[in-house]
Structures are given as C-alpha cells and as structure tokens.
Amino acid sequence: MKTKLLSAVLAAICIGALSGCVSKSPRSFSSSQSPSWVLLELREDLQYDDAWGRVVDLVVTQFELDVAMKEEGYLRTEWLYTWSGNYLSNYRVRMTIKFSPDHKNLKFRTEAQYLEDENWVVGTDSRLMSTLKTDLMGTIGRTTR
C-alpha cells in the first residue's frame, strides 16, 4: 500500500516537473517584431487635463506606471507578469499611450513577450489590445461623427 502511494506521489511530481518545462504561450499572444499602434480620436468635449487623468486612472487599475510625462502626453507601463490571471515568469505584457501634440487624438499599443528557451519572443496580446481599446473608447473616445 505504501509502495503504491509512494509511486503515485513520485509520478505526480515527475509529471508536474515535466509539464512545467513544456510551456506554451497564451492563445492571445502573437509574435510581431513591431507591435502596431491604434489611433483613437478623443471626444470633443474633453479637455486634455481631464483626458490625461482618465487615462492614468484607467491604466493604474491593473498596471504600474514606468514612465508618465503629462507635458509630452506619454505614458508606458512596467511589464506585467500576471495578465493571464496567474503569475507567469515566461510571459509579460505592457502598454504605451501617446497623445498627439494637439491633444485631439491618442495612439496606443500593447506589447507582449514570451520567453522561449532563453530568448524573449516579441509580439502583442490580442486580449490586452481589445480590453484597452474598449476601455479607452468608453472613457475618452469619440464614438460617432
């Protein structure tokens, strides 16, 4: 009885160890050497200070800011390793947002990196891009003309 239990425990440990070595990127990840920017037109009734504050408030609910320069209209987040819902040391995402000089538009992009062997594969995360676009549109975006 003890032998069977010990064998089962050892088998579970080996399977767990092996499955930890074989990792896959999240389905929302796609490799791309140059993640693309998305352009968003701001609502006409929104002043820049208000738009900036809303964007910062939105972003800091899930990310830590790495760079935030209000005068230049630029912010970038730190890498987040928990976007999948769990901490993954081999997958990280971040976002960059840039207001136009006239403060009527902003551009944003998401970056994702997946660690394969010892190299980071550069790309984007479609789920993060979709979430960010929806949130920005609902917060500061112009919906129709």
pLDDT at 23: 54
Position 14 pLDDT exceeds 70 = no
* Domains (range + CATH), the chain: 24-139 (3.30.310)
Give the distance from CA 80 to its chain's centroid.
7
pLDDT tens, position by position, 17-37? 333 444 588 888 988 878 889
Angstrom distance (rounded) from CA 69 to CA 39: 19
- What DSSP designation does 78 have? P
| Alpha helices, H only, 61-143 | 126-139
Q: Which two structure tokens, joined as six digits, stand for 52? A: 């900036």
Q: Residue 51 contacts by C-beta under 8 Å, 6 or more apart in sequence? A: 42, 99, 103, 106, 140
pTM, whole model, 2 decimals? 0.78
38-41 and 29-31 strand pairing:
unpaired
Report yes or no: 32 and 124 within 8 Å, Cβ to Cβ: yes
pLDDT at 85: 86
pLDDT tens, position by position, 46-94? 999 999 999 999 999 999 999 999 999 999 999 999 998 889 999 999 9
Position 11 pLDDT exceeds 80 = no
pLDDT tens, position by position, 106-125? 999 999 999 999 999 999 99
pLDDT at 59: 96
pLDDT at 144: 54
Position 16 pLDDT exceeds 50 = no
Buried b (16+ CB within 10 A) or exposed e, 29-47: beeeeebeeeebebeeebe
Residue matched to tokens 């010990």:
6
